[in-house]
Structures are given as C-alpha cells and as structure tokens.
C-alpha cells in the first residue's frame, strides 16, 4: 500500500506542469584559451556532485579543454541523461560526451528491489500504531451504528410497518459502516486513496444496479405494497389470472392459496402493476345465466316466469332486485339473460347461481316453454330415392302451467359458503405466527 501511494504521488509530481520554468538564455561564447586548472576544477566539481547521488556513484569523469567525457555504468536508463544534464550545467563546460552505459547485471537489479522492499516493510512497521488507531476508530463507529440499528422497538415506532422498520435499520448499518471507513482513511491521511476507492465503488454499483434491476424493482414494489395495503389476509382475490385467498405479503412475493388448495407466489412487482379483483370488499355479488326459449314463445312471459322462480329462492336478495333481458334472437330460439344478487357472507356464489339456473329452467318447462335444441334445415334434390320413414304425428304442446314460487327440491339445498380454503389459510397463518407478513390489519385498505 505504501509503495502504491508513493508511486501515485511521484507520478502526480512528475506530471505536474512547470509554471515557473526559466526562460532559455543564449549559450555563452567559448573561451579562446583552455586552462588545465580550469579542467581540473570542472572535473572535481562534477565528481563532487555525482558523489552525492547514489545512482551516479559509478560514473567516471574526464575533462579536457572544457569537453566533459562521461563513462561508467548506471542502474536506470534515466540516470544516463540525468548525469549528462548535471555535467552540462557546470560553469566552463563546453560540451558533454556521454559514454555511460546501463548496467544489466542481475545482481545489481535484484539488490535495489530487495532494499526497497525492506524499506517499505520498515515504513509499514512504523505505521502499524497509526493503522491500529484508524481500525479502532472505524470499528467503533460501525459498532455504534449496529447498536442503534438493533433497537427494534425504536424503528417499529418510527416506521409504519415491520418491513420499513427493517429497511431503516439496515440503512443505518450501511451508513455507519461507510462513515467508519471514511474516518479510518482520514486518520491515515489517505483521502486521495479513499476517493479512488469510492469512485471504483460507484462504477461497481452502477454495474450491479443493471444486473439486479429486476430485484430492485421487486424490492421497491414490496415497499409500496406494504404502504398501500391493497388487500387483507384471507381476501378472495384474482391477480394476473390467479384466483385464491391471500395468505401473506412478504418482502419478495404475495403468497396465495388457490381454490384448489395450492400455494402460488406472485412477485410483488407483478402484483403492484396488476389489476386486482377483490371479491371480499363488497359482500354483495351479482350472478348471471342464459336460457333459451322457443322462437314462437313470448319472451316477456318467459322473463316473468323465470324471474318469479329466481325471486322465490330464499338466498336471492330483494335489493338489488333480480332482472332479466332479451340477450339475442337466434336461429331457433330467443336467449334470455337473468341477473340476481347474493350475499357472499351467507351464500356461496357458485351454489346460488347453480340453484337459480335450475329453478328458472324448471319453471319455464313447467309453464310450457320449450328449451329447443339447435334446428338444422336440410334440402333434398328431386328424384333422389331416400329411405325415409314416416314419423309419428306431432302432438300438441302441453298447456302452460303456472310456476310455483319455490321448488320443494330446492328448499333444503345447502347454499352456505365453502369455508375450507379460508380455514386452511387461518391455520397456516396461525402456525407461522405472522412472521415476515407485511399485511397490517390496523391500516386502511386502498
């Protein structure tokens, strides 16, 4: 880590533009006479400078008539140009002949690396107390956050339901952990490194956001459903073609028990965007059915007879009243549609509808109305020999009879709602103790 920080700092310094670079000056004129004492002074000055730089210890210097000749070996390629630059800046130097070569021996390369590694270890050992303090500060902040998030009673008091309470507690944990990391890096003085870490985390977060987009959408839908409360436990609903009774609303899906006794889990994202049909919110429900009478019969009389039978059933509500209409005139019959209302808390919808169909059909047949089957017209070409036997003469239609208000066969029929699925839901909810259920009976249903 120390090596990485040093490299980053060195690169930043090297890349920084020079703002106060001196203007280039014209080179001085070369002297007409060369003095040996001057050459000796120049050589001595250059050797003294190279002696202070570890990388240039092995560079040899010769000066003759102001011309400096450099030879020997250096460890890095940049040191060759560095030696030439230093020599050319000494007063009295006319030019520099650079014969320095790079030392490529393995031993000379490994030793500096080992030395640098040793220095890094020593620097790390000296920094251990500071690292310990930074870790302690970060852990202390994170521990305080976890302790605050574990106060379940506080978050349940703040949030309207259990799901949001857990969400707030988790958010507190995450925020305090991030604050702990920031405080630790501040103690270490590595704020630049912290910026790089946070930038990388942001890129990774964006990538993960695209990867778990559906999961995040479902999670947000769970939050909205827990706030909206579109249904109650044991409500008879239809969601995306799935009909059944609601068992629970979890943080991932809505769990239902179908009328066949099977469990079905619908993702909350689907439930949030779906059209929800709830049969429990309004206990009164209308049923309908069609019956066809002969085309020669009076359809208005047929409606009166059928309605009298339907209204005579004890479970059919007087308000709203049962009604009938002529739905269509077919090829061989007239279709009558009957409507009636039942209270679902006392009458099973399907049972009541079935008994109403039977009562209306019996009343129409008893009053002389025919419920004809489809009639087909056949055409025979002349001259064709057909083995057709003469049928018996058609008897006259029996006289119409007045329909009774109620049929004895229907008086004792059981129309009570089937509560078996409802009992199964209650039993399973009692066994689970309401765990992971976001449905709150104390909140209003939208």
The rounded distance, in Å, linking the Cα atoms of 222 and 165 is 13
The rounded distance, in Å, linking the Cα atoms of 78 and 326 is 102
Architecture of domain 284-374+400-406: 2-Layer Sandwich (3.30)
The rounded distance, in Å, linking the Cα atoms of 389 and 398 is 26
Q: What CATH number should be reported for the domain whose range is 34-104?
A: 3.30.1340.30
B/e letters for 137-166, b = 16+ CB within 10 Å, e = fewer, are bbeebbeebeeebeeeeebbeebebbbbbb
One DSSP character per residue, 371-414 reads: -PPP-------TT----PPPPPPPPPPPPP-PPPSS-HHHHT--
Q: What CATH number should be reported for the domain whose range is 231-280+423-432?
A: 2.30.30.60
Could you tell me if 97 and 125 are in contact, meaning their C-beta atoms sit under 8 angstroms apart? no
> E strand or H helix at 95, and its extent?
strand 95-102
Structural domain spans, the chain: 34-104, 109-211, 231-280+423-432, 284-374+400-406
Instruction: Please report, in tens digits, the pLDDT of each residue of the chain (446 residues total).
Output: 444 444 433 444 344 444 444 444 555 665 555 566 788 888 889 888 988 888 888 888 998 888 899 998 888 888 888 888 998 998 888 899 988 888 776 666 666 677 777 877 887 788 788 888 888 888 888 888 888 888 878 877 777 666 677 778 888 888 888 888 788 877 777 666 666 666 666 666 666 666 666 777 888 888 888 888 899 999 999 999 999 999 999 888 999 999 999 999 999 999 999 999 999 889 999 999 999 999 889 999 999 999 999 999 999 999 999 999 999 987 788 999 999 999 999 999 999 999 999 999 999 999 999 887 776 667 766 665 656 565 555 555 555 554 444 444 554 577 888 888 989 998 988 888 777 788 877 777 77
The rounded distance, in Å, linking the Cα atoms of 352 and 311 is 12
**34-104 and 231-280+423-432: same fold?**
no
- Phi (first) and psi of residue 22, to 5 degrees: -70, 150
Tokens of 25: 């000056």
Cis peptide bond prior to 320, omega within 30° of 0:
yes
Distance of CA 31 to the CA centre of its chain: 82
Cα distances from 262 to residues 94, 162, 277, in angstroms, run 99, 27, 19
The rounded distance, in Å, linking the Cα atoms of 360 and 338 is 9
């Amino acid at each position: 880590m120390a090596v990485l920080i040093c490299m980053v700092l060195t690169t930043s310094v090297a890349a920084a533009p020079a703002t106060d670079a001196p203007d280039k000056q014209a080179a001085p004129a070369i002297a007409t006479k060369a003095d040996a004492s001057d050459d000796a002074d120049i050589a001595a000055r250059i050797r003294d400078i190279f002696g202070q730089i570890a990388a240039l210890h092995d560079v040899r210097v010769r000066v003759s008539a102001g011309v400096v000749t450099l030879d020997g070996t250096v460890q890095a390629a940049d040191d060759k140009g560095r030696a030439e630059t230093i020599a050319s800046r000494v007063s009295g130097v006319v030019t520099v002949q650079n014969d320095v070569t790079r030392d490529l021996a393995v031993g000379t390369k490994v030793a500096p690396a080992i030395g640098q590694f040793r220095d890094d270890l020593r620097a790390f050992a000296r920094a251990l107390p500071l690292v310990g303090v930074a870790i302690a500060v970060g852990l202390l902040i994170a521990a305080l956050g976890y302790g605050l998030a574990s106060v379940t009673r506080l978050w349940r008091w703040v949030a309207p339901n259990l799901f949001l309470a857990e969400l707030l507690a988790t958010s507190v944990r995450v925020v305090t952990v991030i604050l702990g990391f920031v405080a630790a890096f501040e103690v270490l003085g590595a704020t630049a490194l912290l910026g790089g870490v946070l930038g990388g985390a942001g890129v990774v977060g964006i990538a993960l956001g695209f990867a778990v987009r559906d999961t995040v959408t479902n999670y947000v839908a769970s939050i909205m459903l827990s706030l909206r409360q579109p249904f109650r436990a044991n409500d008879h609903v239809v969601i995306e073609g799935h009909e059944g009774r609601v068992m629970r609303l979890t943080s991932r899906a809505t769990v239902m028990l179908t009328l066949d006794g099977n469990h079905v889990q619908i993702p909350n994202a689907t439930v949030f965007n779906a059209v929800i049909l709830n049969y429990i919110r309004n206990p009164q429900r209308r049923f309908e059915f069609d019956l066809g009478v002969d085309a020669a019969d009076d359809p208005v009389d047929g409606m009166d007879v059928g309605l009298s039978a339907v209204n005579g059933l004890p479970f059919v509500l007087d308000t709203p009243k049962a009604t009938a209409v002529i739905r269509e005139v077919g090829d061989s019959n007239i279709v009558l549609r009957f409507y009636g209302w039942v209270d679902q808390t006392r009458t099973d919808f399907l049972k009541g509808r079935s008994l109403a169909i039977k009562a209306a059909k019996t009343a129409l047949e008893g009053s002389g109305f025919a419920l004809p089957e489809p009639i087909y017209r056949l055409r025979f070409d002349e001259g064709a020999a057909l083995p057709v036997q003469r049928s018996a003469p058609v008897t006259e239609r029996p006289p119409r009879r007045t329909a009774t208000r109620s049929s004895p066969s229907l008086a004792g029929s059981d129309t009570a709602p089937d509560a078996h699925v409802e009992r199964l839901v209650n039993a399973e909810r009692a066994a689970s103790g309401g765990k992971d259920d976001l449905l709150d009976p104390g909140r209003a249903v939208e």
